[in-house]
A = this chain, B = another copy of it.
Amino acid sequence: MSFHTHACILSTGDEIITGQLLDTNSRYLAEQLTSLGISIVEFAAIPDDLDALVHTLRRLASRAPLLIMSGGLGPTEGDLTRHALAVATGQGLVTDEAALRHLTAWLAGRGRTMNERQARQALRPSGATCLPNAVGTAPGLHSRIDSPTPGAAGTDVFCLPGPPGELSSMWLASVVPMLRPEPSRVVATRLLHVVGIPEADLVTRLGPIMKRDRVPLIGVTASQGVLTLRLRMAASTGSAQAEQALDADEATLGELLGDHLFGRGQETLPAVVLSTLRARHQTLATVESCTGGLLGALLTAIPGSSASFAGGLLTYSNELKTRLAGVDPALIAAHGAVSEQVASAMAAGGLHATGAHHAVAITGIAGPDGGSPAKPVGTVCIAHAWQSKSSTSGPAAPVSVDVRRFRFTGDRDDIRQRAARTGLAMVYFQLFGRPLSEPRLLWQLDAPK
Taking the closest CB of chain B, its distance from the CB of A439, in whole angstroms, is 12
- Does A18 lie at the interface of the complex (its beta carbon under 8 Å from any beta carbon of B)? yes
Which of B77, B315, B323, B324 is the one whose CB lies under 8 Å from A212? B77
What CA separation (Å) do A43 and B56 show in the bound complex? 12
Interface string of A405-422 (1 = CB under 8 A from B): 001011111101000000
What CA separation (Å) do A294 and B316 show in the bound complex? 14
Given contacts A136-B449, A297-B297, A447-B110, contact A23 B23 (CB under 8 A): yes
Given contacts A293-B296, A317-B306, A444-B110, contact A413 B301 (CB under 8 A): yes
User: What count of chain A residues pass the 8 Å CB interface test?
Assistant: 120
Which of B14, B52, B314, B446 is the one whose CB lies under 8 Å from A219? B14
- Does A312 lie at the interface of the complex (its beta carbon under 8 Å from any beta carbon of B)? yes
B contact residues around A24 at 8 Å (CB)? 22
Taking the closest CB of chain B, its distance from the CB of A146, in whole angstroms, is 23
- Does A27 lie at the interface of the complex (its beta carbon under 8 Å from any beta carbon of B)? yes
Q: Which residue of B lies closest to A298 (CB)?
A: B293
Asked if residues A27 and B23 are in contact (CB atoms below 8 Å), the reply is: yes
B contact residues around A306 at 8 Å (CB)? 316-317
What CA separation (Å) do A213 and B50 show in the bound complex? 13
Asked if residues A220 and B313 are in contact (CB atoms below 8 Å), the reply is: no
- Does A15 lie at the interface of the complex (its beta carbon under 8 Å from any beta carbon of B)? yes
Q: Which residue of B lies closest to A317 (CB)?
A: B310
- Does A183 lie at the interface of the complex (its beta carbon under 8 Å from any beta carbon of B)? no
Please give 4 more A-B residue pairs, beta carbons under 8 A apart, in addition to A44-B44, A293-B296. A18-B30, A42-B46, A292-B293, A303-B368
Interface residues in chain A, defined as those with a beta carbon under 8 Å from any beta carbon in chain B = 11, 14-24, 26-34, 39-47, 52, 56, 74-78, 106-107, 110-112, 115, 117-118, 135-138, 163, 165-166, 168-169, 199-200, 203-204, 210-213, 219-223, 228, 230, 285-286, 288, 290-297, 299-301, 303-306, 309-317, 319-320, 323-324, 353-355, 367-369, 407, 409-414, 416, 440, 444, 446-449
Offer 24 A-B interface pairs, CB within 8 angstroms, sorted by A. A11-B43, A14-B219, A15-B219, A18-B31, A19-B29, A19-B30, A21-B221, A21-B223, A23-B26, A74-B199, A112-B447, A115-B200, A117-B203, A291-B297, A292-B293, A292-B296, A293-B294, A294-B300, A296-B316, A297-B297, A301-B412, A301-B413, A303-B412, A313-B324
